[in-house]
Every structure is written in structure tokens, then in C-alpha cells.
Chains A and B, each alone.
Chain A
């Protein structure tokens, strides 16, 4: 490999988007980047950092209103910014390949997968006809797709997410490009599948000598897979250099923030473990006080016992329509799950998609009927509750925070109304008293009270989640069920919300049931953890036990798959 000549060199790149007739909004400013043949360079940043825009600018695939407003992009020494149509077409696919982000929307649902890969071969003059068909199967096998011959004749909707991603990789590498742009190639996938695919990609690109521009929001992943890191923030490069150096010794304040808050890395730090222990101590104390109150009061449901939530042999079986109208198939989503949550603590349920963790949460919340088993809230079996009165009390004391910030608030309700609604439904206080309470709640979640008159569309994802948390706290619940509550948020925002949740727990003595697919986050927020796979509990223990001494194969696999989990940090 010739290290003297850079394969791709981006000099002082400026990209903007047309807004209205004259204005151009800058999206990327003054970006410099160099990639050598065979190297893997990672661009790391949160949403809005400009990392994807930079990548798309390289092959002239900016969305309609995007323009390169300055700088050069040199590929093998030639500036391609000003290149004509034909030159760019020639480059695409055969010199520079793309593996895009979302595997579902990036494959045309109407054509067979094999055909779509064949297109790449034909367009770049690699093969035609029967020869191309053969090559397609080879490429799919190369990308790690089992049963490639048969799969090539199938349609995208018949593939799983991981399989689609492999097909996209095969497509990107079909014409053997010298540079592969991988735009968040695995962020839509389960963690274990992610690891498999990235490992495979690494091996493939090493064998073929393909350089990779890896776009990702995950600092740990970037450091694990790349030699050189470029950190972007709001359209600019804030820091770049050898991956490990940046991780162990970040210099720019933004990079320092990222390194301290990124879950996969932060969770390894002793400091965050200590912080959690403190939170738990305070929370348990608060909770014990609350428990005494509950035991003595008729207004609240429950006995005031130490175990606020107990789940016994919980099972959920769905009846699905079979291939024929009279056939029915049964799908067991949750199979004999049992666990308990102590007052003032957090129990996390971890699992990949299809593990049944969300189904468990929904059953506990009473949103889904239970097939078998019991859910006992503070000594009361929720299926045995009689009358509306008891049910309403139960609802007051157990509240949810859901995953999708863009769907968890009614877009037609102002923030004030959204938070006030629970108070209204339960007839709490006068309208003046309710207003005071809403202000108080907003304060608790660190939102200015001016937000009250605003609407969800005006707030960011993180802000909406905070409103959702405020709403959940409106009725002074004892238990909050967080169903992937931070999974849809950017890294730094995620860290903020986790901190908020911890603070609230210490202050109010809340008990959390925290559903997540991200094991790394668990260490920062949970005391006990349940690992689920295919509806069953695989392992159940305290967080430290699971992390330090995992018993089951699957748990080990999950831990192993945490991106960046294996990177040694200085001064840990």
C-alpha cells in the first residue's frame, strides 16, 4: 500500500442548504479530512454535526437543496467538486461505494434483492447476464448472508434487518471500490448483530484493501474500529487524530464531554459506579419514608412493603392468523418471567428486539392483557383489583415514560395541558393549584416555565422526554416504568436525561423499572438487571455481578458486543 498519496483528501469543505430564494444555511464549515488507501477513518458526531452531509457531499449525493459552497474534495489527486456528471457517475460504485444507514428504506421494495445488486454490477461494467447472476450470489455469500442462492431471488421485506444490511454491504462492495463510505451502517440493528456485521466488514475491507469512511454517533464504536478519528460538532471538526489518543486524552471541551458521557466508555469508569451507589442509598431512604405513609393511608393502594413490584410467572401468548384463514398460530412473547423490584431501587430489563421486554412492561402497566401469571403491586394483585376506585389508585402510583419522544405527547396539546391532564383526570386540586403543580414539575425536570405555553413540535427530543417525565411525576407515583426512555436520544442528551432520572430518584424515593436494549446504559442507572432472550429470562442478578461475572453465554455475548467496551482507558 502506498502511504504517500492520500486516497481522499477534503480541504476546507463548506456545504450549505438553500433556504428560500437567497439564503444559504451553512451545514458544514471548513472541514479537513484525509484518508489513505486501506485505512479506516471514523467521523464521529451527534445529529446535526454534519457528518452525514460531509459523506454525501463526497459522491455528490446531497439532497436537492444542498450545495458545496467552498473547498475541494480530492479523490486520487483530482478535485471532484467541480467534476462533470459523467465523471461522478463513473466514480460512484466503482471507485467510491456507499453503505447507507437505514436498511429498510434504502432497498427498493419492488425489486428482488439479487436484481438490485446485479444493477450495480452492470452499471459499473463488472459483469453481465449469467455471469452477473453468479457474481451476485458470490457477493452475498461474501457479505455473510446464509443461503445466498435462494435469498437472491427474494424481496427486501422477506429479509430481517441484519440480512438487509448485509445485502447493502454486498451492493456497496460489488464493483470493488477503493473507498467505502459506511453511513451508520449498523445503528438500526441489535447489538449482537451489529458486532457480527462490523467484524465481518472489517475482515472484508482488510482483505480487499478497501479504505473505509465510517460515520457513527458512537464514540466507542469509532475508537474500536478506526485508526483515525475525526470528531465533528455543529458542522465543524473540533478534534481529530489517532483514535486511542483522543479517547485517552481528549483536548477539545466537546470531545471531553463526549468521552465522559458516552455510555460504553463512561460506564466503565469507577466514578459513575460510585455515583449510582450514592443515588441508590438516598433513594432507598426516601422510599422507606414513603412506604410508611402508604402503609398507614387508605388513599393509597398497597401495604407499604419493601418489595414494591413483584412479577410471578408472567406469560403472554399472542394468537396470530396463520397462512390459511382458519389456521391460527400461537406466539409466546413472554414465557414465565419472574422478578421483583425493591423500593427505591432500579431494576433494568435488557434484551434485543423480540426479547419480550417491552411486552412485560406493557402488561405491568395494564396496557396489555396478561395470559398467565401475576403482577403484584405492593402486595396487591393487579388482576384482582375490584372497582374503578382501586384501578385509579393503581394508575396514580405507577406511571410510564415511553420511547418515542415524537409520539409520546399529543401534538395538539400545549405542554401545560399535557402535564396537567393526569391531574385533571384524577380531579386533583383547583385550576390554580394545578398550575402551581405544573410549574413545580417543570422545575424538577429543569425546563423553564415559559415552556408551558409551547407545543411539542417546538421542542427537541430530549426536551419532550423531560416533559413526558414531568407528566409521569404529576400524580406523585411510586414506580416509574421507563420503556426505552432514552434510546431515541443523542448521546449527550441521553446522559442528561439519565442524570435527571437519577436525581429524581434520590430526591423522591422513586422505584424504576428500566427497559433498554443498551447494556452500557444499565450500569449508570440500575441496581439489578434481568437479561431476556426470546421471551425468557436468561440471567438475573445485581448489576455488578452481571458485569463482572456473567454466568450465561448470551449475557457474555451481549457484554462483548458493547461497542468500545474493550478499549482500555487511561486512569480508570
Chain B
């Protein structure tokens, strides 16, 4: 088991190195395309002295490889550079992080709890109306883009019915994040319903469930111990992939509901061409994904003894 952990940890290193390389490359492309210094100041003119100072500070004059390596060096010690506004990027991220984490966790809880419940009922009652209904619903939710769902819910709950505020803004509370969390988790919810449903339905007709029944176990016990437990495994596997999607979705959701989170930060930084912020924020997101993916894999090993004792 420990070798499995060690192996997984070792695997994350090339991923982080490779990912930062690619991201740096893309932001570098942006630099050479335009004038990054001018971009920082918008329409205001830039004096030559300031220009030279900024170029040195952000290493714009160095070749790409050096820039990347310098970034890596900084990242290791926790120095992600300074944003154009003058604040350390790490501080910006630290401030934006909590709301995004809260949003993501809420979305996760919503999609997992509701998704597994709906999927299980649908799988147990295969072919009946609940199953058909949940199938149609899940397909529709996958097909409708997240921002349309966002708009609809925003309009419905924020404008029409006025239950929740339409936008969140600087002072955020958990209550205000409820609708955005639902929006963020919608597509994943649909996938989890389908996954659970398929898994439960498959388990129900499997050999070992038949043997469990033959032992004299009550239906409830069969479902709990043998169907659900076995169905959890593919859902957990999906979770690992899902977290990446959640982070991408956060960019849009935070945009629609005006939430001051990491996604919003990334988006604005990209738009404004603030390369250090961009690289840093995306790198942090990648790191978060890699770590959580590792945790999910460990969870998977905990659930499936065949991995542990292989």
C-alpha cells in the first residue's frame, strides 16, 4: 500500500513540472505578441525608466527557459511574484481562495449527495418512471451549458422570485453561495446520476449479489452492503476527473454571480495580460487538482482492497 502511495506521489512531480512549463509557454507567447508593459498600464503612457525597471522586475528580457525556471524556483519557496497592481500574487490568491473553496465544496456536497441518491433510486427501480425521468433530466443537464443554467437560475431566484441575491459581491456568505454552488455542480450531478444508476443496475444482476441473496440476506442489507458499496468505486474514480471540471466551471460561475474567487482572478488576469498572476494562479489550480486527485486515488485504494494488496 505504501508503495502505491509513494508511486503516486512520484508521478505528480513530472506532472507539475510539465504543466508549469506548458502554462509558462502560453503566457510567454502572449508576451511576445504584444507589449506586456503597455498592457499593464492600460492607456496611460509609460516612461522609459519605468519600463526598464518593470522589465527587469518581471524578467521580460530573459529568454523563456530562464523565465520558467525562475518561476519554478520562486514557486518552491512560495514566492509567486508580484502582481502588476503591486500586491504579491500569493496574497491575492490567499484572499480569493476561501470563497472558491467554499463554493467548490458546496458544489461537491450537492452533486455527490443528491447525485448518488437519485442515481441509486433510479438504478434500483430500473425501467420505471423515476428511472426514465432521471435519465432525461441528466441528459438535459449535460446538454445545457453551465452558463445558461447560471442565467436561468440567477434570473429565477434572483430577479423573478427574489429568494436569493442575484449577485454575490465582496461580502459573501454561505447562504449567498447556494445558487452558484448548485449551478457549478449541475453538470457533474448529471454525470454522477448516470454513473451511479449504471453501476447499481449492473451490481443488481451480478453473481455476487445473487449469492448474497441466496444466503438469506434481506433486500435492504443486500443493497447496502453489496450493491451500494460496490457502486461507490466508479463514482470515486469519477471524482478525480471531476475536480478539474469544477475548477474550470468556477471561472464561469464566479463570472456570472460576481464572486471574488480564484476563477474570477484568473480570468481577469488573463484578460489584462498580467502574466505572473496568470501563471501563478493556474499553477496553483493545477497543484490543487494534482493533490486532490492524489487524495481521491488514495480514497479509491481504501475502497478497493484489490488495489491495496495487489
Contact between chain A and chain B defined by CB under 8 Å: yes
B210 within 8 A of A: yes
Q: B221 is contacted by which of A90, A119, A155 (Cβ under 8 Å)? A: A119
Contacts of B214-272 to chain A: CB distance below 8 A = 214-218, 221, 225-226, 229-230, 233
Residue among B7, B206, B212 facing the most chain A CB atoms (10 A cut-off): B212
A97 to B211, CA, bound (A): 10
Q: Are B217's CB and A119's CB within 8 A?
A: yes
Fill in one digit per residue for B262-287: 1 if any A CB lies within 8 Å of its CB, else 0.
00000000000000000000000000
Q: Are B221's CB and A100's CB within 8 A?
A: no
Given A63-B205, A106-B208, does the pair A175, B216 have CB atoms closer than 8 Å? yes
A283 within 8 A of B: no
Contacts of A60-107 to chain B: CB distance below 8 A = 61, 63-64, 89-94, 97-98, 100, 102, 105-107
Interfacial chain B residues near A97, Cβ < 8 Å: 214
B213 within 8 A of A: yes
Q: Are A98's CB and B225's CB within 8 A?
A: no
Interfacial chain B residues near A432, Cβ < 8 Å: none
Q: B214 is contacted by which of A93, A155, A325 (Cβ under 8 Å)? A: A93
Interfacial chain B residues near A109, Cβ < 8 Å: 208, 304-306
Closest chain A residue to B216, Cβ basis: A93
A520 to B225, CA, bound (A): 43
Contacts of A207-237 to chain B: CB distance below 8 A = none
Q: Are B225's CB and A106's CB within 8 A?
A: no
Q: Are A90's CB and B207's CB within 8 A?
A: no
A413 within 8 A of B: no
* Shortest distance between the CB of B169 and any CB in chain A (Å): 47
Given A92-B215, A106-B207, does the pair A323, B306 have CB atoms closer than 8 Å? no
Q: Is the interface of A mostly helix, strand, loop or mixed?
A: loop
Q: Are B214's CB and A323's CB within 8 A?
A: no
Q: Are A92's CB and B214's CB within 8 A?
A: yes
Q: A171 is contacted by which of B215, B221, B229, B233 (Cβ under 8 Å)? A: B215
Interfacial chain B residues near A61, Cβ < 8 Å: 210, 213-214
Residue among A91, A94, A111, A324 facing the most chain B CB atoms (10 A cut-off): A111
Contacts of A356-370 to chain B: CB distance below 8 A = none
A523 to B305, CA, bound (A): 44
Q: Are B305's CB and A110's CB within 8 A?
A: yes
Q: Are B221's CB and A110's CB within 8 A?
A: no
Given A98-B211, A157-B309, does the pair A110, B303 have CB atoms closer than 8 Å? yes
Contacts of B184-213 to chain A: CB distance below 8 A = 205-208, 210-213
Q: Are B214's CB and A108's CB within 8 A?
A: no
- Using a Cβ–Cβ cut-off of 8 Å, how many residues does chain A contribute to the interface with B? 36
Count A-B contacts at CB 8 Å.
Answer: 87
B129 within 8 A of A: no
Interfacial chain A residues near B225, Cβ < 8 Å: 108, 111, 119
Given A119-B221, A123-B218, A157-B309, does the pair A105, B213 have CB atoms closer than 8 Å? no
Q: Are B206's CB and A93's CB within 8 A?
A: no
Contacts of A107-130 to chain B: CB distance below 8 A = 107-111, 119-120, 123-124
B161 within 8 A of A: no
Given A157-B309, A324-B3, does the pair A108, B216 have CB atoms closer than 8 Å? no
A168 within 8 A of B: yes
* Shortest distance between the CB of B303 and any CB in chain A (Å): 7
A120 to B211, CA, bound (A): 10
* Shortest distance between the CB of A26 and any CB in chain B (Å): 21
Interfacial chain A residues near B230, Cβ < 8 Å: 108, 110
A158 within 8 A of B: yes
A168 to B210, CA, bound (A): 13
A267 to B283, CA, bound (A): 72
A480 within 8 A of B: no
A244 within 8 A of B: no
Interfacial chain A residues near B215, Cβ < 8 Å: 92-93, 98, 119-120, 123-124, 171, 174
A59 within 8 A of B: yes
Given A61-B210, A64-B205, A158-B309, does the pair A94, B216 have CB atoms closer than 8 Å? yes
Q: Are A92's CB and B213's CB within 8 A?
A: yes
Contacts of B147-201 to chain A: CB distance below 8 A = none
Q: Are A102's CB and B214's CB within 8 A?
A: no
A59 to B218, CA, bound (A): 14
Q: A98 is contacted by which of B214, B218, B303, B309 (Cβ under 8 Å)? A: B214
- Among all A-B residue pairs, the 6 with the closest Cβ atoms: A93-B216, A98-B214, A92-B216, A105-B207, A120-B215, A155-B305
Q: A100-B214, A124-B216, A174-B215 are in contact. List 9 more A-B contacts (CB 8 A).
A: A61-B214, A91-B216, A105-B206, A105-B207, A109-B208, A109-B305, A110-B230, A120-B215, A158-B309
14 pairs across A/B with beta carbons < 8 Å? A89-B216, A92-B216, A94-B216, A105-B206, A105-B208, A107-B211, A109-B304, A109-B305, A109-B306, A110-B304, A119-B217, A120-B215, A123-B217, A171-B211
